[in-house]
Amino acid sequence: MPTYQAPLDNIKFVLNEVLNAEQLTEIPEYEEATSDLVDQILEEGAKFCEEVLFPLNQSGDEEGCMYENGVVRTPKGFKEAYDEFIQGGWCGVAGDPEYGGMGLPMLVNTVMQEMICSANFSFGMYPGLSQGAYEALHHYGTEEQKNTYLEKLLSGEWSGTMCLTEPHCGTDLGLIRTKAVPNDDGSYNVTGTKIFISAGEHDLTENIIHLVLAKLPDAPEGVKGISLFVVPKLLPENMGVNGVTCGSIEHKMGIKASSTCVMNFEESKGWLVGAPHKGLKAMFTMMNAARLGVAMQGLGIAEVAYQNGLAYAKDRLQMRALDGVKEPDKPADPIIVHPDVRRMLLTSKAFCEGARALSYWVGMELDVSLKHPDEKRRQEADDLVALLTPIIKAYQTDMGFEVSSLAMQVHGGHGYIWEYGVEQYTRDARIAMIYEGTNGIQALDLVGRKMGAHMGRYLRRFFHPVQKFIEDNQSNSDLQEFIFPLAKAFAKLQQSTAIIAQKGLKDPNEAGAASVDYLKHFALVAMGYMWIQMVVAAQKQLAEGTDNASFYESKIKTARFFFSRMLPEADWHFKAVMAGADSLMDLDEDQF
């Protein structure tokens, strides 16, 4: 049977000792979010994830959602778990207190997303989509819309969705056909079909609030003609039906307890959110929040897969250690003694701990970008979040799938069997590489939008502090084994940045061909930067004579593995970037 224990020691280490997240209390809205309070909240959240959500994960996968006559039923136990979830106030952790939220930093919500996705990926989809709907309405909704929807979304009484994709268009949203025709009372009749709508229909809440992309009758062609509408399943004024129906649910590879729906809008009553033809900007508020959430899904699924791979490796007896017997009283040694098993486990451990530090840093900077009183500091943080969001979305979901696959490999044949649980993690993990913009799209966003934005301003938000850290510590004897590999990989990242910018101006295919390898190179450097921060924090504790020396020593040892066995992958990605586009683009279509 699978197992999960929230990694609270690692979470608190990153929050309190690496990032000093208590500095967020300097922001007036967050002055009560002390480390003691946040730790207590996360401990309660961990208990809920371990004791309520995790026991439903396998049964939810086995049962899946059921569809009949337009009605979707979630698996046994999900409704009760959701009721307990909203009673605990978890939907409103980072919500505006004006609408019933707790007003805590988004960072707390980011940490909760990791634990929820480890415990029950499918369950996490429901409140996760509501968070995106809340963000869009909070940023762009009218006062009437905010008063109508936000309190219900934060309480969890109502849930939300994002309705973008249509049967003929996904990434290219300019092709959407859903129409919105104005009514005399200021509302609109929305008509069209949306597919792949997560949490589009279910039995957890009394109402579902759909955020729908559609085009007005006078809309210009392409993405400049997209508007955003709020279309409730039931009309708020009288809870009457609104022409919103679920046509079917998808039968999927994974996240089977999350309903993925075909949604039909038949002259459904909706209201414009934001300005006409400016819906894409409002939707990106949802998508950026969702992309950080998806990055946490990658980390969350990797963490639980790693924990199960580790538990199995310590328990499974096979052969003897290559350098001599380790367990003479047993017929064989546990497989954790074997180098290749340790390679897989250390790859998983190094990723999870590095990604946790990196994504929590992004989560903290998101709070700064939203609430810091200094406009300059807000802009700097916003730039960094914009730059790193596509990187962590793509890299962490790639690695979430890889780590879940490694956990299967550690289990051997048992990993392929449902009862051990890890094959579910592999199936669940795969979707995160696809939705909210495929990882290839994230790479194009990085090189096509973020790299050159504002004359390279976004890049400077990351490059400058990394460069300064390297320069300040190049003679630090305690960090030599980490500084020089980072400096080498960072220098090549700067070089490839310049090459892509130069070649991409002449031929966009050059930038496109380099994009995925560039993103992965960037991610490894960013992870390396965060791993050094963890080394510094661990060395500090050891120097001060901590009672938990083994914990901090493990950080330094894991960092050594990352710098010696994972960061060198950046060299390969650098060489692929330097190879250019010719070998990708030369083959004629009929030669494939």
Instruction: Tell me the mean pLDDT in the region 140-154.
Output: 98
357 within 8 A of 396, measured Cβ to Cβ: no
Write the DSSP symbol of residue 236.
T
Tell me what the pLDDT averaged over the chain comes to: 96
**Superfamily grouping for domain 284-582:** Butyryl-CoA Dehydrogenase, subunit A, domain 3 (1.20.140.10)
In this model, does residue 567 exceed pLDDT 90? yes
Per-residue pLDDT tens digits for 221-268: 988 999 999 999 999 999 999 999 999 999 999 999 999 999 999 999
Q: How many CB atoms are closer than 10 A to CB 90? A: 21
In this model, does residue 538 exceed pLDDT 90? yes
Instruction: Tell me the mean pLDDT in the region 313-317.
Output: 97
pLDDT bracket for residue 35 (50, 70, 90) = very high
Write the DSSP symbol of residue 166.
B
Per-residue pLDDT tens digits for 318-347: 999 999 999 999 999 999 999 999 999 999
- Ramachandran region of residue 235, left (φ > 0), alpha (ψ -120 to 50) or beta? beta
pTM: 0.97
CATH class held by domain 158-283: mainly beta
Residue 271 sits at φ, ψ, to 5 deg, of -130, 140
**380 is an active site residue:** no
Q: How many CB atoms are closer than 10 A to CB 245? A: 18
In the chain, what is the straight-line distance between the N-terminal and C-terminal CA atoms, in Å? 45
Which is it for the CA torsion 169, 174, 175, 181, positive or negative?
Answer: positive
Q: How many CB atoms are closer than 10 A to CB 475? A: 9
Look at residue 290 in the predicted model and tell me its pLDDT.
81
Look at residue 28 in the predicted model and tell me its pLDDT.
96
For the domain covering 8-152, report its CATH number: 1.10.540.10
In this model, does residue 282 exceed pLDDT 90? no
Per-residue pLDDT tens digits for 20-30: 999 999 999 99
In this model, does residue 509 exceed pLDDT 90? yes
Instruction: Tell me the mean pLDDT in the region 26-39.
Output: 97
Q: For residue 89, count CB atoms less than 10 angstroms from its CB and return exposed for 0-12, middle for 13-18, buried for 19 or more.
A: middle
In this model, does residue 359 exceed pLDDT 80? yes
Cα dist. 412→185, 302, 339, 409, 419 in Å? 63, 18, 15, 5, 13
Q: For residue 257, count CB atoms less than 10 angstroms from its CB and return exposed for 0-12, middle for 13-18, buried for 19 or more.
A: buried
pLDDT bracket for residue 590 (50, 70, 90) = very high
Q: List the chain domain ranges.
A: 8-152, 158-283, 284-582
Per-residue pLDDT tens digits for 456-491: 999 999 999 999 999 999 999 999 999 999 999 999
Strand partners, 234: 241
Per-residue pLDDT tens digits for 386-414: 999 999 999 999 999 999 999 999 999 99
Instruction: Tell me the mean pLDDT in the region 535-559.
Output: 97
Q: Quick check: helix, strand or coil at residue 178?
A: coil
Per-residue pLDDT tens digits for 52-99: 999 999 999 999 999 999 999 999 999 999 999 999 999 999 999 999
Look at residue 172 in the predicted model and tell me its pLDDT.
83
Catalytic residue chosen out of the listed positions 436, 481, 510, 544:
436
The tokens describing 356, both together, are 């946790």
Please name which of 530, 289, 566, 207 lies closest in space to residue 403, comparing C-alpha atoms.
566
Look at residue 281 in the predicted model and tell me its pLDDT.
82
Rounded to the nearest 5 degrees, what angle is found at the Cα of 459, between the Cα atoms of 299 and 295?
15
Look at residue 555 in the predicted model and tell me its pLDDT.
98
Contacts of residue 26, Cβ cutoff 8 Å, sequence gap at least 6: none
Q: What is the DSSP string of 355-406?
A: HHHHHHHHHHHHHHHHH-S-HHHHHHHHHHHHHHHHHHHHHHHHHHHHHHHH
The tokens describing 263, both together, are 């949604």
Instruction: Tell me the mean pLDDT in the region 344-353.
Output: 98
Look at residue 283 in the predicted model and tell me its pLDDT.
75
The tokens describing 545, both together, are 């004579």
- Ramachandran region of residue 274, left (φ > 0), alpha (ψ -120 to 50) or beta? left
